[in-house]
């Protein structure tokens, strides 16, 4: 799965890489976590990224699902994702992601990134969900009262079988797109076999990081620094 990632590339460099202006208030993030509002580039965006909540809910749902991942093998058939797969795709910028594995009797976080730490895009889907009106506490004239909650725009990250490196840490990994495949993904032209094939492990590195990354409350540069296991 993909449950945490980092994105600390300077805004100017991020804009250059994706040819899209990031949110004006973008700050370096070393511990992006579900439920947070994070920058994505949607298929219908023209030169500008926008923020979405990480945790997808289908538009037809009566309650929040907060689905942070979608399996590439079933995303075309699963009711939660079929509509978004056809028409609401996005890129989720990152420069690394975290996976947890058992080492020395405990569960330890590892950071996975390209060997040169270059940014990349994970394949994502997004949806707009409107919380339903109340079914209890009906108003004076017998009509449902609105909840008062805003519409929620949210995304999920696709996952696939891991490459050899990540397979030592977890049985899933994020779908990391090659730059030449990003536009094809957004426009619906990337074939499913290419989408599901993980990038070769010889382009990646994985190293242990501090267990401080376990808490989303921690978000500072020390989280991406390598550590000795058990320290």
Give a yes or no: residue 193 inside a domain. Answer: yes
Q: How far is CA 222 from CA 32, 65, 145, in A?
A: 14, 32, 47
- Sign of the C-alpha dihedral computed for residues 162, 166, 171 and 175 taken in this order: negative
What does the pLDDT look like over 50-77, one tens digit per residue? 999 999 999 999 999 999 999 999 999 9
Give a yes or no: residue 202 inside a domain. Answer: yes
In the structure encoding, which two tokens stand for residue 109, read together? 């976080």
Determine contact, residues 55/34, Cβ cutoff 8 Å: yes
- For the domain that residue 143 is a member of, what is the CATH number? 3.90.1680.10
Cβ of 98: how many Cβ atoms within 10 Å? Answer: 25
Residues recognised as catalytic: 2, 99
pLDDT of residue 144: 45
Give a yes or no: residue 231 inside a domain. Answer: no
Give a yes or no: residue 70 inside a domain. Answer: yes
What is the domain range of residue 122?
Answer: 5-224
- Cα(50)–Cα(10) distance, rounded to whole angstroms? 16
Give a yes or no: residue 75 inside a domain. Answer: yes
Give a yes or no: residue 154 inside a domain. Answer: yes
What does the pLDDT look like over 123-172, one tens digit per residue? 999 999 998 765 444 444 444 444 546 789 999 999 999 999 999 999 99
In the structure encoding, which two tokens stand for residue 30, read together? 């070393």
Q: Is 85 helix (H, G, I), strand (E, B) or coil?
A: helix
Question: Whole-model pTM?
Answer: 0.91
The count of domains in the chain is 1
């Amino acid at each position: 799965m993909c449950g945490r990632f980092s994105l600390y590339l300077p805004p100017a460099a991020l804009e250059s890489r994706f040819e899209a202006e990031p949110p004006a208030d973008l700050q370096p993030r070393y511990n992006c976590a579900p439920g947070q509002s994070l920058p994505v580039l949607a298929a219908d965006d023209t030169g500008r990224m926008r923020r979405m909540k990480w945790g997808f809910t289908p538009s037809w749902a009566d309650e929040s699902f907060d689905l942070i991942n979608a399996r590439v093998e079933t995303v075309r058939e699963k009711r939660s994702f079929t509509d978004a797969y056809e028409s609401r795709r996005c890129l989720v910028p990152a420069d690394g992601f975290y996976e947890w594995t058992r080492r020395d009797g405990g569960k330890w976080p590892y950071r996975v990134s390209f060997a040169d730490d270059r940014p990349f895009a994970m394949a994502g889907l997004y949806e707009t969900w409107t919380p339903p009106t109340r079914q209890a506490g009906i108003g004076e004239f017998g009509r449902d009262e609105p909840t008062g909650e805003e519409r929620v725009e949210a995304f999920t990250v696709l996952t696939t079988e891991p490459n050899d490196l990540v397979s030592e840490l977890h049985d899933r990994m994020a779908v990391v797109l090659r730059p030449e495949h990003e536009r094809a993904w957004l426009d619906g032209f990337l074939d499913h076999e290419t989408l599901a094939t993980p990038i070769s492990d010889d382009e990646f590195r994985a190293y242990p990081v501090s267990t401080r990354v376990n808490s989303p409350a921690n978000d500072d540069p020390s989280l991406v620094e390598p550590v000795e296991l058990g320290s």
